[in-house]
Amino acid sequence: MNRTRFIAYTGILTAIVTVTTFAAIHTPNTQGFINFGDAIIFIAGIFFGPFAGLIAGGLGSAFADMILGYTVTWAPFTLVIKGAEGFIVGLVSAILCKMLAKKYHVIAYLLAMTAAGLIMVAGYFFATWILYGFLYGGAFHSPKLHTNGSFNGDSFAFNPRNQNNFARNKSQRRPSINALD
């Protein structure tokens, strides 16, 4: 692919990542969101190469974070983490596709997406740890860890703010300093 096409495709993919990340389902318990931006990052990395995945994933997701108001806190982390995700999916899929027969390329793509997803989850884990500290951020309340790639109920169940929801009656609830509890 020549340089002009690479720049054009990468720009279009960056815009699509921004839009698909911006159009998200917000999850109040984790202060994050679920979106389809990762699918576009995977497409960019697998079909256009690791550098297209790096640029489209990093810039597109960071632009979406800035639009959504996560400018100071999450956008710098997202730039690095999602860029790494796009680069890893492109690099791993390219290496595995060279090693495997054509009929096994789907397996190569799945392995590449799994590796990139694990990088993304680990990246947001450490970013949350840096921003909020280990006990609150890294272990119990990771805003983006549970919503991108590995959504489950752990963030709700282990969030200290939600422990009152599991009390059987009002007498078992902890005293609250928040008027909304």
Lowest-pLDDT range, 103-107, 115-119, 162-166?
Answer: 162-166
Q: What angle do CA 5, 85, 142 make, to 5 degrees?
A: 140
Distance of CA 121 to the CA centre of its chain: 7
User: For the residues 7-14, what does the mean pLDDT come to?
Assistant: 96
Q: What share of the chain is helix, strand, coil (3-state, %, to 5)?
A: 70, 5, 25
Distance of CA 13 to the CA centre of its chain: 17
Name the more confident of 26 and 47: 47
Exposure class string for 30-60: b at 16+ Cβ within 10 A, else e: bebbbbebbebbbbbbbebbbbbbbbbbbbb
Check: CB of residue 128 under 8 Å from CB of residue 143: yes
User: For the residues 13-30, what does the mean pLDDT come to?
Assistant: 86
Query: Is this model's pTM higher than 0.85 or not?
Result: no
Q: How many CB atoms lie within 10 A of CB 29?
A: 17
Q: What is the mean pLDDT of the chain?
A: 79
Alpha-carbon radius of gyration of the chain: 19
How confident is residue 150, by pLDDT bands cut at 50, 70 and 90?
Answer: very low
Residue for token digits 């800035």?
A: 66
* Domain 3-172 grouped into CATH 3.30.930.10: no
Name the more confident of 129 and 57: 57
How confident is residue 48, by pLDDT bands cut at 50, 70 and 90?
Answer: very high
- How far apart are alpha carbons 118 and 132 in whole angstroms? 21
Question: What is the three-class DSSP state of 2?
Answer: coil
| Statement: residue 41 has pLDDT above 50 | yes
User: For the residues 105-115, what does the mean pLDDT come to?
Assistant: 95
Q: What angle do CA 130, 136, 137 make, to 5 degrees?
A: 40
Q: Which residue type does 81 have? A: I
